[in-house]
Amino acid sequence: MTADPIFFPRGDKHELELGDKLQPKFDAEGLIPCITVDAATNEVLMFAFMNELALRKTIETGHATYWSRSRGKLWIKGEESGNFLRVRELRTDCDQDVVLVKVDLIASGAACHNGYRSCFYRKLNATSGRLEMAGGERKFDPALVYKKKS
């Protein structure tokens, strides 16, 4: 990296926490956690990791872009379906080791590959100790989507 208008080298604690320079911390594997929320409601939609290129692409293109650890490649959410996640705002946390993006939910209304708005569609019932569905109706049936692909 030579001239780089987006990322700056990590600063001291004060600069990291209260400064105006984006100084993201990538872990030993070159990744930073990213929380993706619905820009309209703040509902958490999904959680994934970005590497430096994914974060740069997210900022440059406005399409949420992650690093797929399972596939070992850049993952532009919606690249196959055309249902990109449009980034309305990008935030970082106090010590800049996490990123948060606020996005417009895609046309299908589902961010999760299981057809739900959010990946967090189950909550723990404290009495039974079991998970309960809490994600509302499915926006699409993944069985049909996967069938088409196979």
Phi, psi (degrees; rounded to nearest 5) at 89? -160, 145
Residue 28 binding a second copy, by CB under 8 A = no
Residue 135 to residue 18: CA distance in whole angstroms: 36
Q: Is 46 helix (H, G, I), strand (E, B) or coil?
A: strand
Residues 31-90 that bind a second copy (CB under 8 A): 33, 35, 37, 41-44, 46-47, 59, 89-90
Among 2, 72, 80, 130, binds a second copy (CB under 8 A): 130
Task: Quote the least distance from Cβ 79 to a second copy, whole Å.
Answer: 19
Q: List Cβ neighbours of 58 (8 Å cut-off, separation of 6 or more).
A: 50, 64, 65, 87, 90, 101
| SS3 label, residue 74 | strand
Task: Tell the smallest beta-carbon distance from residue 135 to a second copy (Å).
Answer: 9
Of 53 and 113, nearer to a second copy (C-beta) is 113
Report the relative pairing of strands 31-38 and 99-104 from DSSP bridges.
Answer: parallel
Which residues bind to a second copy, rule: CB under 8 A? 5-6, 17-22, 33, 35, 37, 41-44, 46-47, 59, 89-94, 98, 100, 112-114, 116, 119-124, 126, 129-132, 134
